[in-house]
Each structure stands twice: as structure tokens, then as C-alpha cells.
Amino acid sequence: MKKGVKRALGAGFIGGVAYAAWRAWRARVPAGPGDIEWTTAPFPFPPVPRPAVSWREPGDDGACPTTHPIKGKLTSGIYHVPGGANYDRTQPDRCYVDEDAALRDGLRRSKV
């Protein structure tokens, strides 16, 4: 057998003996007040609420639906509101319900 293989087997054997000794010692020692006791719980616990989708993709013509008037450009990280200087010429990547939804998605308001 090669020298490296013998070392690996020896280390594994020593580790196994140490683990068995630790388990035997742990079984004899009474549980202390600091020990954690784990119980099962239904998955997921607690339930994680899923955020409602507050954006839609623009239609085939590139226009946002009337329910989602805020236009967002992911490449620039900017959103445009109706009545803004560049609103009409902006081709959106996403359309948002309101400005808060665009902000939560990591976009900032256009300066003009």
C-alpha cells in the first residue's frame, strides 16, 4: 500500500474511534441546562409570506397596461412616471403598480 493511503486510513480509524468514544461519553453524561432540545415542526416554520408581484411585462406594442403605469428600465436602473419628460419615449422592461414597487425592485426615479 502507498504511504498516503496508509495515512488516510489511519486518520480515518483514529477519527472513528474518537467519535465513538465521544458518543459513549455523551450517552452517560446527563443533559445540562444549556443543552438545546430540538423538536420537529411543520415545513416551513414559521410560514414565509410571499410578496405579491407588483410588476408586469409590457405588452407586445411596448406599452404598459393602465393598471401598471410606472415604466422601469432595468439597464439604467431608472423608472419613469406618467407626465415625466422621457415617459412617452421610454420603452420599458417592466411596468409597475406604483413608485414604491419600483423602488423595492431597486430602481430610482428619473431626475426629469
Cβ atoms within 10 Å, residue 37: 5
Are 84 and 112 a contacting pair, CB within 8 Å? yes
Are 35 and 41 a contacting pair, CB within 8 Å? no
Can you tell me the distance from the alpha carbon of 110 to that of 72, in angstroms, rounded to the nearest whole number?
10
* Residue 86 pLDDT: 92
Can you tell me the distance from the alpha carbon of 84 to that of 111, in angstroms, rounded to the nearest whole number?
9
* 3-state SS, residue 66: coil
One pLDDT digit (tens) per residue for the chain, 112 residues: 677 777 778 888 998 999 999 888 888 876 666 666 667 766 666 666 666 778 999 999 999 999 999 999 999 999 999 999 999 999 999 999 999 999 999 999 999 8
Domain edges within the chain: 55-109
